[in-house]
Amino acid sequence: MTHPARAPSVWSPRRLARVLDHSVLSPVHTEQEVFRGCRMVRELGVRTIIVKPSYLRLAVRLLEGAPVHIGTVIGFPHGGETVRMKAAQIREMRAAGAVEFDVVINIGAMREGRERVVAREVEAAVAAARGGLVKVIIETGYLDDEQKVRAARLAAAAGAHFVKTSTGYGLRGATVEDVRLLRDALPLTVGVKASGGIKTLEETLRLLEAGAARIGTSSTRAIMEAALERQPVHA
């Protein structure tokens, strides 16, 4: 799997929809939000919906036959579970129909230099996913630039398909600077997912231009409506 180093400067709404991961991850989201989210991603042609593990089977049922990837989060949002716990959750969710897994690293271990812990959990996640896409969340708001680069490269070496900036529940969300830093640190075979606080088309385009290959957002409809009004969309 390969990913572009930099996004194209012109986006059709259809192409834009295929780089969006619609998130239904708020602590207060109910089944109704999952119903609405599934209906919307089908309607708009969005690539992926990301739901909490407890709603994974519901999303799989609602999107049966639709060209939408269904993903979930692991170790979300703090990453404090053990390697075995994260791997077990991935295996359960894979069996239930998930094909994408956004996995939070052990942030504390990364901050104190216990890099082997991070490498082991990413390796275990990739093995447990059995061909599913693994996006490793490093939570950039808690790391300095050197730690971000180290975490990204550890994830890539351990087999991650994407490195993701943020959960949206940390100190801050995605920034253009972090996306550029990660893109420059990673091989082209590993993508960057920008996530956390992305609410507008303008923010989305800036992050794509900086090198993101996926955008995680709960503001999918607003972004797509803006894109449809402005098509073709110039970054």
| Cα(177)–Cα(224) distance, integer angstroms | 24
5 domain-assigned: no
In a domain, 3, yes or no: no
In a domain, 1, yes or no: no
- Following DSSP, what letter does each residue of 149-177 receive, concatenated? HHHHHHHHHTT-SEEE---SSSS----HH
Does 141 have pLDDT greater than 90?
yes
Domain that residue 93 falls in: 10-234
Closest CA to 102 of 47, 50, 147, 149: 50
d(CA 87, CA 209) in angstroms, rounded, equals 33
Residue 10: how many CB atoms within 10 A of its CB? 11
Give the per-residue pLDDT at 233.
67
Query: What is the predicted pLDDT for the residue at 230?
Result: 86
pTM value?
Answer: 0.94
Q: What is the DSSP letter of 81?
A: S
The CATH number linked to 60 is 3.20.20.70
- Strand ranges inside 83-207, DSSP E: 100-104, 133-137, 162-164, 191-195
Residue 224 banded pLDDT, cuts 50, 70, 90: very high
Catalytic positions are 102, 164, 193
Question: pLDDT digit string (tens) for 166-185?
Answer: 999 999 999 999 999 999 99
Q: Is there a domain that residue 209 lies in?
A: yes
For 67-77, write each residue's pLDDT tens digit: 999 999 999 99
Do the domain assignments include residue 72? yes
**225 found inside a domain:** yes
User: Is residue 64 situated within a structural domain?
Assistant: yes
**Predicted local confidence at residue 8, as pLDDT:** 54
Q: What are the tens digits of pLDDT across the range 95-106?
A: 999 999 999 999
CA 176 to chain centre: 16
Q: Number of structural domains, the chain?
A: 1
Q: pLDDT at position 67, please? A: 97
Q: How much is the mean pLDDT over the chain?
A: 95
Distance CA 128, CA 204 (A): 31
**Is the pLDDT assigned to residue 28 strictly greater than 80?**
yes
pLDDT at position 57: 98
How confident is residue 154, by pLDDT bands cut at 50, 70 and 90?
very high
Q: Is residue 111 part of a domain?
A: yes
